Chain A
Amino acid sequence: MIGLRVEKLAEGHGWLHRRAPEAKIAAFALITLIILSEMSFSVGRMAAYAAITLLLILSARLPLSLFARRALLTAPILLLAAALPWISRKLGESAAAGPDPRLLLAKGLLAVCLLTLLAASTRFPDLIGGLEKLRAPAVLRLLAGLMYRYVPLLRDEWDRMEVARRSRTPGEPRRRPLALIARQLANLFLRAWQRADRVQAAMEARAFTGRWPRAAGRAFTGGDVLFLWSSVTLVLLVRASEVLRHGV
């Protein structure tokens, strides 16, 4: 499972792993926003963004195969998004020129790589702690934490239902009836609901009153300031090169 692999990689000890989560969240959010603000495709600038991303990946000592796989998984969706304006023009839906498909594809792939880099260099509890320090709404943090906790439980429940179904299915049908999948999904929902009730009782039993207790975080160091400042400035400089050229 890719999710579990990312979780394991996040336990690493690379330079990027040691940075404060709030610095990483802020840096990656700013870098992504700067890249997304690109209005025209330039091989030079996109290569520069890719080089900065690669530098960050190397600083985290993460395998490039992880990013390649993620990029491959998202590429079809990005390609479709990129092709939509062209398809629309072909169908005569709109005469106006849409955004450059190459730009959409490049921005999408860079965003996916940056998000993967953040997830693979920061443990999930630290991410939640970082969001807390950045004053993200408590409900958002609570939901993110519980959803993350529930994904493996839902997977377990689904696997159990699958085993029960297959054990009573003589021969695997080529196509499973839609009604059966729907019933399994409904069952999954009910089981998740019951489990949520029990988890809520367990939380209340341990004096939970609805306010998520604050966890101790790591200190914000000079290295974090350097990382935040240098990475964002570098990306900003690449972005500014376009503005400067147009100005000249």
Chain B
Amino acid sequence: MGSEACGLPVEIENLTFAYPGQPEALRGLDWRVPAGARVGLLGASGAGKSTLLLHLNGILRQKSGKIRIGETLVEERTLATIRRDVGLVFQNPDDQLFHLSVAEDIAFGPRNLGWSESQVQQTIQETATALRLEGLLDKHPQQLSSGEKKRAALATVLAMRPRVVALDEPFANLDPALIEQLIGLIHGLSATVILISQSILPALACCSTLAILDQGRIAAEGPAYEIARDRALLGRCGLDFHYYRDVWRRLETAGG
């Protein structure tokens, strides 16, 4: 399941944003994501990841700077185009699923885009098949399990055929089996994918490039494996996951 084309580039120039009465969450951020790329944006809590994500389709408006999706600048008059092209998958599926049935939730975006009812119905079926939600279309979102909710939330976005898909902490609160399932789904997307996460390991499985967001700026970017190996960088940005490896080695040594 994915978009018809293979994605649009995302260009961010000198993006600055602050919530009212608070210090700047994004401080002159510059970032470029090539068309069709799979990029993981990592950062500790409060680094500005979700804030950046909300800028991608104009939910939040920047104090200064520019965001370009393909050729389109994100601004008031282009919001209709931007919201068609950029799909946001929120961290908590309960925020994303606000209808009384999964089918209605999937149909919400396409109907807002003015698609015909036959197109909407066809999209519901296609998306449900792709995300293995066929038997759940008439269910109330509250009746779904965590994994089903995550898939349903992703379906509501993919139904709009976005050319950029941004996922906010998609692996949060999922067990390892569900994480593996979700990684498979993300691999199948044919759009530009921006994956926001605090967990490096699942991001490594999905993305060829990793970027680190620290204090409102991109602190580092590069091939996923290289970034993941730079323990000093990860430690500085509050993302050191090598600790788990150390614990595992200690356990192995003790067990052996």
Contacts and interface: CB of A to CB of B under 8 A. Distances in A.
Interface of A: 7, 11, 123-125, 128, 145-146, 148-149, 152-153, 195, 198-199, 201-209, 213-216
B80 interface: yes
B104 A204 contact: no
A78 B107 CA distance: 42
B112 A202 contact: no
22 contacts: A123-B100, A125-B100, A145-B99, A149-B98, A153-B94, A198-B90, A198-B95, A201-B59, A201-B90, A202-B96, A202-B98, A203-B98, A205-B83, A205-B90, A206-B87, A207-B112, A207-B113, A207-B160, A213-B111, A215-B104, A215-B111, A216-B120
Given A149-B98, A216-B117, A206 B108 contact: yes
A128 B156 CA distance: 20
A164 B94 CA distance: 21
Given A125-B101, A149-B99, A153-B94, A206 B121 contact: no
Interface residues of B, number: 33
A205 B57 contact: yes
Nearest to B82: A207
B157 interface: yes
A139 B38 CA distance: 41
A207 B84 contact: yes
| Interface SS of chain A | helix
A204 B88 CA distance: 10
B140 interface: yes
A152 B112 CA distance: 26
A151 to B, nearest CB: 9
Contact of B140 (A7, A195, A215): A7
**Max count, chain A CB within 10 A of own CB: residue among B87, B117, B121, B142:** B142
Contacts of A209: 112
**Residue from A125, A146, A153, A207 having most chain B Cβ neighbours under 10 A:** A207
A199 B59 CA distance: 12
B25 to A, nearest CB: 15
A123 B59 CA distance: 33
B59 A204 contact: yes
B48 interface: no
Interface of B: 54, 57, 59, 80, 83-84, 87-88, 90, 92, 94-96, 98-101, 104, 107-109, 111-113, 117, 120-121, 138, 140, 142, 156-157, 160
A120 B98 CA distance: 22
A10 to B, nearest CB: 11
Contact of A206 (B112, B120, B140): B112
Contact of A202 (B95, B104, B111, B138): B95
Nearest to A11: B138
Closest A-B pairs by Cβ, 5 of them: A213-B111, A206-B109, A207-B112, A198-B95, A207-B83
Contacts of A199: 95, 98
Nearest to A146: B98
Contacts of B80: 207
Given A7-B140, A125-B104, A195 B95 contact: yes
Contacts of B90: 198, 201-202, 205
B88, B98, B156 pick with most chain A CB within 10 angstroms = B98
Which of B96, B100, B101, B120 has the most CB atoms of chain A within a 10 A radius of its CB? B100
B98 A148 contact: no
Given A125-B99, A204-B83, A207-B80, A213 B108 contact: yes
Given A199-B95, A204-B59, A205-B59, 12 more contacts: A125-B101, A195-B94, A198-B95, A202-B88, A205-B57, A206-B156, A207-B83, A209-B112, A213-B107, A213-B108, A213-B112, A216-B117
Nearest to B142: A152
Contacts of A205: 57, 59, 83, 87-88, 90
A209 B140 CA distance: 24
Nearest to A201: B59
Given A215-B104, A216-B117, A207 B109 contact: yes
Contacts of B100: 123-125, 128, 145, 148-149
A198 B99 CA distance: 14
Contact of B83 (A152, A153, A206): A206
A208 B140 CA distance: 21
A33 B59 CA distance: 46
- Which residue among A124, A146, A205, A216 has the maximum number of chain B CB atoms within 10 Å of its CB? A205
A208 B98 contact: no
Contacts of A124: 100
B9 to A, nearest CB: 20
